[in-house]
Amino acid sequence: METLEPSIPLRMRIAPYKNSIFVGVLALLLVMVFVIKLGNKTHKNEADFVSATNAFVKWEQVLDTNNDELRNLATIMKKHPELKAEYEAKLAQDFIAMQESNKAREFGSSVIQRTNQPYYSDYAKASLLVSEGKFLEALEQALYLKKQMLEDEAFWTKSQGVKNYGSGLFAFNLMRIATLYQELGMKDRELEAWSELKAFAGWNGAQKDVRIKQEGFQSLLNHFTVQDMTLLDYISAREAELTR
């Protein structure tokens, strides 16, 4: 992984165009925080909330596992467990990006236990597998998750009226499948996965499955737009490389 200046935001430092395997795991923050916040909207202690925010922001500038700001944040979360829902997913996200698998699992496991959302928990568990370099196992889980979601009519009925619920998870999981195929050197499967992602998103015409809302795929595009480069640019570049 490239060494970059700590002042550059985390998302920019691990942009999908520079380290493609992380394209499939960076959604942990977006997906898990979204689910957690459904049942966690307020904080009782505003001063500690501000202190926790400041500690986290300062820590993200250095991303050091042995850092005073990280310890400060841990102390505040211990004092106010309600803050864990706000920061544990973010910490797991950052440690995944830093390839600190033990730390990622420490915080990610806590997030998974708290969500009580099976598909989202499955996605997060696969994120931890990726952080540990278990790419084939993560791919198998991602493929099984896709199959489960497509066959679950009740899940898509439940998602009606809730922005990004379900469609965001499905979109990010498709992205993970493509990038894991890429990491494993399975070129034909990777090409098929990019084509499938575009088909479900409706980027090449009619959407493949009308149950799956466009908002989730728009979130995917927004999440992986880096300066003037978009996810569609990245997919086009991969397709060109794979069809040479």
Residues paired with residue 157 on neighbouring β-strands, in sequence order:
none
- Rounded to 5 degrees, what angle do the CA atoms 164, 169, 170 make? 105
Which tens digits make up the pLDDT trace of 98-117? 667 677 777 767 766 666 67
Q: In this model, does residue 39 exceed pLDDT 50?
A: no
Which tens digits make up the pLDDT trace of 110-146? 766 666 677 887 887 888 888 788 999 999 999 999 9
| Domain boundaries, given as residue ranges, for the chain | 20-116, 134-244
* HSE-up of residue 122 (Cα within 13 Å, Cβ side): 20
